[in-house]
A and B are shown apart, each in its own frame.
Chain A
Amino acid sequence: MERTTIDLWVGIFAAAGFAAILGLAMKVGNLTSVDVGDTYTVTAAFDNIGGLKPRAPVKSAGVVVGRVAGIKFDTSTYVAQVSLEVDKRYPFPKDTFANIYTAGLLGEQYVGLEAGGDPETLKNGDRIAHTQDAVVLEKMISQFLYNKASDTDTKSAAEAK
Protein backbone atom coordinates (compact mmCIF):
# COMPACT_ATOMS: atom_id res chain seq x y z
CA MET A 1 0.00 0.00 0.00
CA GLU A 2 1.20 3.53 -0.68
CA ARG A 3 2.60 5.50 2.15
CA THR A 4 0.07 8.31 1.87
CA THR A 5 -2.83 5.89 2.17
CA ILE A 6 -1.25 4.36 5.26
CA ASP A 7 -0.74 7.81 6.73
CA LEU A 8 -4.36 8.63 6.09
CA TRP A 9 -5.60 5.46 7.76
CA VAL A 10 -3.33 5.93 10.76
CA GLY A 11 -4.57 9.50 11.02
CA ILE A 12 -8.17 8.32 10.99
CA PHE A 13 -7.29 5.65 13.55
CA ALA A 14 -5.62 8.12 15.91
CA ALA A 15 -8.45 10.64 15.51
CA ALA A 16 -11.06 7.96 16.23
CA GLY A 17 -9.09 6.81 19.27
CA PHE A 18 -8.84 10.27 20.76
CA ALA A 19 -12.49 10.90 19.90
CA ALA A 20 -13.36 7.73 21.83
CA ILE A 21 -11.39 8.94 24.87
CA LEU A 22 -13.14 12.30 24.64
CA GLY A 23 -16.49 10.59 24.19
CA LEU A 24 -15.85 8.43 27.26
CA ALA A 25 -14.90 11.51 29.25
CA MET A 26 -17.92 13.54 28.19
CA LYS A 27 -20.70 11.04 27.71
CA VAL A 28 -19.79 8.18 30.05
CA GLY A 29 -17.69 9.90 32.70
CA ASN A 30 -18.50 12.85 34.86
CA LEU A 31 -16.06 15.33 33.38
CA THR A 32 -18.87 17.60 32.23
CA SER A 33 -20.77 17.48 35.49
CA VAL A 34 -17.75 18.49 37.55
CA ASP A 35 -18.29 22.09 38.50
CA VAL A 36 -15.12 23.84 37.52
CA GLY A 37 -16.93 27.06 38.37
CA ASP A 38 -16.57 28.83 41.70
CA THR A 39 -17.65 26.96 44.78
CA TYR A 40 -17.75 27.72 48.45
CA THR A 41 -17.02 25.14 51.11
CA VAL A 42 -19.14 24.61 54.19
CA THR A 43 -18.78 21.91 56.79
CA ALA A 44 -21.40 19.90 58.59
CA ALA A 45 -21.02 17.52 61.51
CA PHE A 46 -22.93 14.25 61.52
CA ASP A 47 -23.07 11.60 64.24
CA ASN A 48 -23.40 8.95 61.58
CA ILE A 49 -22.89 9.37 57.86
CA GLY A 50 -23.94 5.85 56.90
CA GLY A 51 -22.48 5.04 53.49
CA LEU A 52 -21.78 8.59 52.32
CA LYS A 53 -18.76 8.79 50.04
CA PRO A 54 -16.57 11.66 48.87
CA ARG A 55 -17.82 13.14 45.57
CA ALA A 56 -21.40 12.19 46.41
CA PRO A 57 -23.85 14.81 45.18
CA VAL A 58 -25.25 17.60 47.34
CA LYS A 59 -28.86 18.22 46.34
CA SER A 60 -31.46 20.73 47.21
CA ALA A 61 -35.03 20.11 46.08
CA GLY A 62 -33.57 17.33 43.93
CA VAL A 63 -31.22 19.62 42.03
CA VAL A 64 -27.50 18.90 42.28
CA VAL A 65 -25.94 22.05 43.79
CA GLY A 66 -22.56 20.67 44.81
CA ARG A 67 -20.45 17.71 45.82
CA VAL A 68 -19.09 16.20 49.01
CA ALA A 69 -15.46 17.32 49.06
CA GLY A 70 -14.18 15.28 51.95
CA ILE A 71 -15.12 13.29 55.03
CA LYS A 72 -13.03 13.37 58.19
CA PHE A 73 -13.43 11.95 61.65
CA ASP A 74 -13.09 14.50 64.44
CA THR A 75 -11.36 12.87 67.41
CA SER A 76 -12.20 15.67 69.85
CA THR A 77 -15.98 15.40 69.46
CA TYR A 78 -16.19 11.93 67.86
CA VAL A 79 -18.38 13.02 64.99
CA ALA A 80 -17.89 12.94 61.23
CA GLN A 81 -16.91 16.25 59.65
CA VAL A 82 -18.25 16.42 56.11
CA SER A 83 -17.10 19.29 53.91
CA LEU A 84 -19.45 20.25 51.11
CA GLU A 85 -18.50 22.20 48.00
CA VAL A 86 -21.54 24.18 46.91
CA ASP A 87 -21.79 26.13 43.67
CA LYS A 88 -21.46 29.92 44.16
CA ARG A 89 -24.58 30.43 42.09
CA TYR A 90 -26.67 28.90 44.86
CA PRO A 91 -26.47 30.82 48.14
CA PHE A 92 -28.12 29.15 51.12
CA PRO A 93 -29.41 30.76 54.33
CA LYS A 94 -27.41 30.34 57.53
CA ASP A 95 -29.95 28.05 59.17
CA THR A 96 -30.01 25.51 56.35
CA PHE A 97 -30.68 21.90 57.30
CA ALA A 98 -28.26 19.24 56.02
CA ASN A 99 -29.66 15.71 55.88
CA ILE A 100 -28.23 12.48 54.54
CA TYR A 101 -30.70 10.74 52.28
CA THR A 102 -30.61 7.58 50.23
CA ALA A 103 -31.55 7.60 46.57
CA GLY A 104 -33.94 4.69 46.19
CA LEU A 105 -34.02 1.72 48.52
CA LEU A 106 -30.45 0.54 47.94
CA GLY A 107 -29.12 3.52 46.03
CA GLU A 108 -26.24 5.84 46.75
CA GLN A 109 -26.39 8.29 49.60
CA TYR A 110 -26.38 12.02 49.10
CA VAL A 111 -26.59 15.17 51.18
CA GLY A 112 -29.86 17.06 50.96
CA LEU A 113 -29.95 20.73 51.86
CA GLU A 114 -33.20 22.26 53.05
CA ALA A 115 -33.15 26.04 53.10
CA GLY A 116 -34.15 27.83 56.30
CA GLY A 117 -35.41 31.40 56.68
CA ASP A 118 -32.34 33.33 57.80
CA PRO A 119 -31.68 36.44 55.68
CA GLU A 120 -27.91 35.92 56.00
CA THR A 121 -26.33 33.35 53.68
CA LEU A 122 -23.64 30.73 54.24
CA LYS A 123 -20.13 31.82 53.39
CA ASN A 124 -16.93 29.93 52.65
CA GLY A 125 -15.79 28.01 55.74
CA ASP A 126 -19.10 28.27 57.55
CA ARG A 127 -20.63 25.45 59.53
CA ILE A 128 -24.09 24.03 59.07
CA ALA A 129 -25.46 23.67 62.59
CA HIS A 130 -28.60 21.68 61.89
CA THR A 131 -27.90 18.23 60.61
CA GLN A 132 -29.72 14.95 60.49
CA ASP A 133 -27.89 11.64 60.33
CA ALA A 134 -28.19 8.89 57.81
CA VAL A 135 -30.84 6.34 58.54
CA VAL A 136 -29.17 3.15 59.69
CA LEU A 137 -31.43 0.23 59.06
CA GLU A 138 -30.20 -1.89 61.98
CA LYS A 139 -30.77 0.98 64.41
CA MET A 140 -34.28 1.52 63.13
CA ILE A 141 -35.15 -2.17 63.37
CA SER A 142 -33.74 -2.50 66.89
CA GLN A 143 -35.64 0.61 67.97
CA PHE A 144 -38.82 -0.82 66.48
CA LEU A 145 -38.33 -4.15 68.20
CA TYR A 146 -37.56 -2.44 71.50
CA ASN A 147 -40.73 -0.37 71.29
CA LYS A 148 -42.75 -3.45 70.37
CA ALA A 149 -41.29 -5.35 73.32
CA SER A 150 -42.00 -2.56 75.78
CA ASP A 151 -45.56 -2.29 74.38
CA THR A 152 -46.27 -5.94 75.01
CA ASP A 153 -44.64 -5.64 78.44
CA THR A 154 -46.98 -2.86 79.52
CA LYS A 155 -49.94 -4.64 77.98
CA SER A 156 -49.22 -7.89 79.79
CA ALA A 157 -48.58 -5.97 82.98
CA ALA A 158 -51.97 -4.27 82.60
CA GLU A 159 -53.65 -7.61 81.93
CA ALA A 160 -52.07 -9.13 85.01
CA LYS A 161 -53.64 -6.40 87.12
Chain B
Amino acid sequence: MLKRLDSALRGIGHRLIDRIWRLGCGARFFFHIMIYSGESFRRLHLTIREIYYTGVLSLIIILVSAFFVGMVLALQGYNTLQKYGSSEAIGVLVALSLVRELGPVVTALLFAGRAGTAITAQIGLMKATEQLSAMEMMAVSPIARVIAPRFWAGAFSMPLLAAMFSMVGVLGGYLVAVPLLGVDAGAFWSQMQANVDFGGDIMNGLAKSLVFGIACTLIALFEGYDAPPTADGVSRATTRTVVNSSLAVLGLDFIMTSFMIGT
Protein backbone atom coordinates (compact mmCIF):
# COMPACT_ATOMS: atom_id res chain seq x y z
CA MET B 1 0.00 0.00 0.00
CA LEU B 2 2.67 2.42 1.10
CA LYS B 3 4.83 1.32 -1.76
CA ARG B 4 2.09 2.07 -4.30
CA LEU B 5 1.51 5.50 -2.80
CA ASP B 6 5.22 6.12 -2.89
CA SER B 7 5.47 5.19 -6.55
CA ALA B 8 2.43 7.31 -7.43
CA LEU B 9 3.96 10.34 -5.72
CA ARG B 10 7.23 9.67 -7.46
CA GLY B 11 5.41 9.50 -10.77
CA ILE B 12 3.73 12.86 -10.21
CA GLY B 13 6.97 14.46 -9.13
CA HIS B 14 8.81 12.99 -12.08
CA ARG B 15 6.23 14.29 -14.55
CA LEU B 16 6.23 17.74 -12.99
CA ILE B 17 10.00 18.00 -13.08
CA ASP B 18 9.98 16.67 -16.63
CA ARG B 19 7.53 19.39 -17.70
CA ILE B 20 9.58 22.13 -16.06
CA TRP B 21 12.72 20.71 -17.62
CA ARG B 22 11.08 20.76 -21.05
CA LEU B 23 9.90 24.31 -20.50
CA GLY B 24 13.45 25.38 -19.72
CA CYS B 25 14.70 23.48 -22.77
CA GLY B 26 12.08 25.25 -24.88
CA ALA B 27 13.15 28.65 -23.59
CA ARG B 28 16.80 27.87 -24.36
CA PHE B 29 15.75 26.66 -27.80
CA PHE B 30 13.90 29.93 -28.43
CA PHE B 31 16.97 31.86 -27.34
CA HIS B 32 19.13 29.86 -29.77
CA ILE B 33 16.71 30.59 -32.60
CA MET B 34 16.95 34.29 -31.81
CA ILE B 35 20.74 34.17 -31.85
CA TYR B 36 20.94 32.30 -35.15
CA SER B 37 18.06 34.06 -36.88
CA GLY B 38 20.37 36.58 -38.57
CA GLU B 39 21.29 33.76 -40.94
CA SER B 40 17.69 33.20 -42.00
CA PHE B 41 17.40 36.83 -43.08
CA ARG B 42 20.76 36.90 -44.82
CA ARG B 43 19.85 33.79 -46.80
CA LEU B 44 16.31 34.85 -47.41
CA HIS B 45 15.55 32.11 -49.95
CA LEU B 46 15.57 29.57 -47.13
CA THR B 47 12.86 31.50 -45.31
CA ILE B 48 10.87 32.09 -48.49
CA ARG B 49 10.95 28.37 -49.20
CA GLU B 50 9.53 27.70 -45.76
CA ILE B 51 6.87 30.37 -46.18
CA TYR B 52 5.82 28.44 -49.26
CA TYR B 53 5.53 25.19 -47.33
CA THR B 54 3.88 26.57 -44.18
CA GLY B 55 1.91 29.53 -45.51
CA VAL B 56 1.02 29.02 -49.15
CA LEU B 57 0.17 25.35 -48.84
CA SER B 58 -2.08 26.04 -45.81
CA LEU B 59 -3.99 28.59 -47.83
CA ILE B 60 -6.63 26.28 -49.27
CA ILE B 61 -7.77 24.73 -46.00
CA ILE B 62 -7.76 28.15 -44.29
CA LEU B 63 -9.75 29.91 -47.00
CA VAL B 64 -12.32 27.13 -47.39
CA SER B 65 -12.85 26.89 -43.62
CA ALA B 66 -13.09 30.68 -43.40
CA PHE B 67 -15.80 30.72 -46.01
CA PHE B 68 -17.85 28.10 -44.21
CA VAL B 69 -17.27 29.65 -40.78
CA GLY B 70 -18.49 33.02 -42.09
CA MET B 71 -21.56 31.48 -43.66
CA VAL B 72 -22.46 29.53 -40.52
CA LEU B 73 -21.95 32.62 -38.35
CA ALA B 74 -24.34 34.58 -40.54
CA LEU B 75 -26.98 31.83 -40.46
CA GLN B 76 -26.77 31.31 -36.71
CA GLY B 77 -26.57 34.99 -35.91
CA TYR B 78 -29.49 35.85 -38.13
CA ASN B 79 -31.65 33.29 -36.41
CA THR B 80 -31.10 34.88 -33.00
CA LEU B 81 -30.94 38.53 -34.03
CA GLN B 82 -34.20 38.22 -35.91
CA LYS B 83 -35.98 37.50 -32.63
CA TYR B 84 -34.94 40.94 -31.41
CA GLY B 85 -35.80 42.60 -34.67
CA SER B 86 -32.24 43.71 -35.35
CA SER B 87 -31.19 41.42 -38.16
CA GLU B 88 -29.23 44.32 -39.71
CA ALA B 89 -26.69 43.90 -36.93
CA ILE B 90 -25.64 40.62 -38.55
CA GLY B 91 -22.74 42.38 -40.28
CA VAL B 92 -21.37 43.61 -36.96
CA LEU B 93 -21.77 40.19 -35.40
CA VAL B 94 -19.99 38.37 -38.21
CA ALA B 95 -17.20 40.91 -38.56
CA LEU B 96 -16.47 41.33 -34.86
CA SER B 97 -16.50 37.64 -34.07
CA LEU B 98 -14.23 36.91 -37.02
CA VAL B 99 -11.81 39.78 -36.57
CA ARG B 100 -11.50 39.54 -32.80
CA GLU B 101 -11.68 35.83 -32.10
CA LEU B 102 -12.41 33.27 -34.76
CA GLY B 103 -9.97 34.59 -37.35
CA PRO B 104 -6.84 34.35 -35.21
CA VAL B 105 -7.89 31.31 -33.16
CA VAL B 106 -9.31 29.04 -35.87
CA THR B 107 -6.43 29.95 -38.18
CA ALA B 108 -3.96 29.02 -35.46
CA LEU B 109 -5.71 25.71 -34.75
CA LEU B 110 -5.81 24.82 -38.44
CA PHE B 111 -2.23 25.96 -38.85
CA ALA B 112 -1.13 23.73 -35.97
CA GLY B 113 -2.85 20.79 -37.64
CA ARG B 114 -1.75 21.51 -41.18
CA ALA B 115 1.71 23.07 -40.92
CA GLY B 116 2.78 22.35 -37.34
CA THR B 117 2.56 18.59 -37.71
CA ALA B 118 4.46 18.73 -40.99
CA ILE B 119 7.25 20.72 -39.36
CA THR B 120 7.48 18.34 -36.39
CA ALA B 121 7.46 15.22 -38.53
CA GLN B 122 10.04 16.65 -40.91
CA ILE B 123 12.46 17.75 -38.23
CA GLY B 124 11.88 14.61 -36.17
CA LEU B 125 12.70 12.50 -39.20
CA MET B 126 15.73 14.65 -40.02
CA LYS B 127 16.93 13.96 -36.50
CA ALA B 128 16.10 10.24 -36.67
CA THR B 129 18.02 9.86 -39.94
CA GLU B 130 20.87 11.90 -38.40
CA GLN B 131 20.70 14.66 -40.98
CA LEU B 132 20.95 17.23 -38.21
CA SER B 133 24.06 15.57 -36.79
CA ALA B 134 25.53 15.45 -40.28
CA MET B 135 25.04 19.19 -40.60
CA GLU B 136 26.80 19.74 -37.32
CA MET B 137 29.65 17.58 -38.57
CA MET B 138 29.95 19.92 -41.54
CA ALA B 139 30.08 22.88 -39.16
CA VAL B 140 26.64 24.05 -40.29
CA SER B 141 24.42 24.93 -37.37
CA PRO B 142 21.14 23.04 -37.85
CA ILE B 143 19.37 25.77 -35.88
CA ALA B 144 20.50 28.43 -38.33
CA ARG B 145 19.98 26.30 -41.44
CA VAL B 146 16.79 24.36 -40.60
CA ILE B 147 15.05 25.73 -37.51
CA ALA B 148 15.26 29.52 -37.70
CA PRO B 149 13.92 29.87 -41.28
CA ARG B 150 10.91 27.76 -40.35
CA PHE B 151 10.34 29.81 -37.23
CA TRP B 152 10.31 33.13 -39.08
CA ALA B 153 8.22 31.68 -41.88
CA GLY B 154 5.56 30.61 -39.36
CA ALA B 155 5.62 33.93 -37.52
CA PHE B 156 5.27 35.79 -40.82
CA SER B 157 2.59 33.56 -42.36
CA MET B 158 0.17 33.44 -39.45
CA PRO B 159 -0.99 37.09 -39.36
CA LEU B 160 -1.44 37.09 -43.13
CA LEU B 161 -3.41 33.85 -42.99
CA ALA B 162 -5.56 35.22 -40.16
CA ALA B 163 -6.25 38.43 -42.10
CA MET B 164 -7.28 36.41 -45.14
CA PHE B 165 -9.41 34.18 -42.92
CA SER B 166 -11.30 37.19 -41.53
CA MET B 167 -11.76 38.79 -44.93
CA VAL B 168 -13.02 35.60 -46.60
CA GLY B 169 -15.22 34.88 -43.58
CA VAL B 170 -16.83 38.31 -43.86
CA LEU B 171 -17.43 37.69 -47.56
CA GLY B 172 -18.99 34.31 -46.73
CA GLY B 173 -21.21 35.97 -44.16
CA TYR B 174 -22.17 38.60 -46.71
CA LEU B 175 -23.12 35.93 -49.26
CA VAL B 176 -25.44 34.25 -46.78
CA ALA B 177 -26.86 37.38 -45.15
CA VAL B 178 -27.55 39.55 -48.17
CA PRO B 179 -28.60 37.40 -51.16
CA LEU B 180 -29.87 34.41 -49.17
CA LEU B 181 -31.50 35.89 -46.07
CA GLY B 182 -32.40 39.24 -47.56
CA VAL B 183 -30.60 41.58 -45.17
CA ASP B 184 -30.06 45.04 -46.64
CA ALA B 185 -26.55 45.28 -48.11
CA GLY B 186 -26.11 48.92 -47.11
CA ALA B 187 -27.03 48.26 -43.48
CA PHE B 188 -24.76 45.20 -43.45
CA TRP B 189 -21.65 47.15 -44.43
CA SER B 190 -22.40 50.46 -42.75
CA GLN B 191 -23.19 48.96 -39.35
CA MET B 192 -20.06 46.87 -39.66
CA GLN B 193 -17.94 49.89 -40.44
CA ALA B 194 -19.50 51.89 -37.63
CA ASN B 195 -18.72 49.25 -35.03
CA VAL B 196 -15.43 47.65 -36.05
CA ASP B 197 -12.50 49.72 -34.89
CA PHE B 198 -9.28 49.49 -36.87
CA GLY B 199 -6.90 49.93 -33.93
CA GLY B 200 -8.97 48.23 -31.28
CA ASP B 201 -10.29 45.25 -33.20
CA ILE B 202 -8.38 44.57 -36.40
CA MET B 203 -4.92 45.40 -35.07
CA ASN B 204 -5.54 43.47 -31.85
CA GLY B 205 -6.64 40.48 -33.90
CA LEU B 206 -3.45 40.67 -35.94
CA ALA B 207 -1.35 41.00 -32.78
CA LYS B 208 -3.04 37.88 -31.43
CA SER B 209 -2.32 35.94 -34.58
CA LEU B 210 1.33 37.01 -34.52
CA VAL B 211 1.65 35.64 -30.98
CA PHE B 212 -0.16 32.44 -32.01
CA GLY B 213 2.15 32.10 -34.99
CA ILE B 214 5.21 32.36 -32.80
CA ALA B 215 3.77 29.94 -30.22
CA CYS B 216 2.58 27.31 -32.73
CA THR B 217 5.77 27.32 -34.77
CA LEU B 218 7.98 27.25 -31.69
CA ILE B 219 6.09 24.30 -30.22
CA ALA B 220 6.18 22.40 -33.53
CA LEU B 221 9.90 23.03 -33.98
CA PHE B 222 10.76 22.17 -30.40
CA GLU B 223 8.77 18.94 -30.39
CA GLY B 224 10.46 17.87 -33.61
CA TYR B 225 13.92 18.83 -32.42
CA ASP B 226 13.37 17.15 -29.08
CA ALA B 227 11.72 13.98 -30.44
CA PRO B 228 13.34 10.62 -29.63
CA PRO B 229 14.90 9.44 -32.91
CA THR B 230 12.54 6.51 -33.41
CA ALA B 231 9.36 5.99 -35.41
CA ASP B 232 7.40 5.89 -32.19
CA GLY B 233 9.10 9.03 -30.88
CA VAL B 234 8.30 11.03 -34.02
CA SER B 235 4.68 9.94 -33.98
CA ARG B 236 4.32 10.93 -30.32
CA ALA B 237 6.00 14.26 -31.00
CA THR B 238 3.56 14.99 -33.82
CA THR B 239 0.61 14.27 -31.54
CA ARG B 240 2.08 16.44 -28.81
CA THR B 241 2.50 19.28 -31.30
CA VAL B 242 -1.20 19.38 -32.06
CA VAL B 243 -2.27 19.01 -28.43
CA ASN B 244 0.19 21.51 -27.01
CA SER B 245 -0.29 24.07 -29.79
CA SER B 246 -4.06 23.98 -29.43
CA LEU B 247 -3.90 24.36 -25.66
CA ALA B 248 -1.31 27.13 -25.93
CA VAL B 249 -3.41 28.99 -28.50
CA LEU B 250 -6.58 28.82 -26.43
CA GLY B 251 -4.80 29.75 -23.20
CA LEU B 252 -2.91 32.63 -24.76
CA ASP B 253 -6.14 33.76 -26.40
CA PHE B 254 -7.84 34.06 -23.04
CA ILE B 255 -4.92 35.98 -21.53
CA MET B 256 -4.62 38.39 -24.44
CA THR B 257 -8.36 38.91 -24.74
CA SER B 258 -8.62 39.77 -21.07
CA PHE B 259 -5.92 42.40 -21.57
CA MET B 260 -7.47 43.79 -24.74
CA ILE B 261 -11.11 43.85 -23.63
CA GLY B 262 -10.47 44.55 -19.97
CA THR B 263 -9.55 48.21 -20.37
In the bound assembly, the distance between CA atoms of A57 and B168 in angstroms comes to: 28
Other A-B pairs, 5, CB within 8 Å; known A28-B202, A34-B198:
A17-B163, A17-B164, A21-B206, A28-B95, A57-B194
* Chain A contacts for B166, CB-based, 8 A: 20, 24, 28
Q: Which residues of A contact B (CB under 8 A)?
A: 1, 3, 6-7, 9-10, 12-14, 16-18, 20-21, 23-25, 27-34, 55, 57, 104-108
Q: Is the CB of B163 within 8 A of A30?
A: no
Pick the residue among B45, B55, B160, B192 that contacts A28 (CB under 8 A). B192
Q: Which B residues lie at the A interface, using CB under 8 A?
A: 45, 48-49, 51-52, 55-56, 59, 84-86, 95, 99, 157, 159-161, 163-164, 166-168, 170, 189, 192-198, 201-202, 206
Give A6 to B52 CA distance when docked, in angstroms: 6
CB distance from B190 to the nearest CB of A (A): 9
A-B CB contacts (within 8 Å), total count = 91
Question: Are B86's CB and A29's CB within 8 A?
Answer: no
Complex A-B: 26 CB contacts under 8 Å:
A6-B52, A9-B52, A10-B48, A13-B157, A13-B160, A16-B160, A16-B164, A17-B159, A17-B160, A17-B164, A18-B160, A20-B164, A23-B167, A24-B170, A27-B170, A27-B189, A28-B166, A28-B167, A29-B197, A29-B201, A30-B198, A31-B198, A33-B193, A104-B86, A106-B86, A108-B194
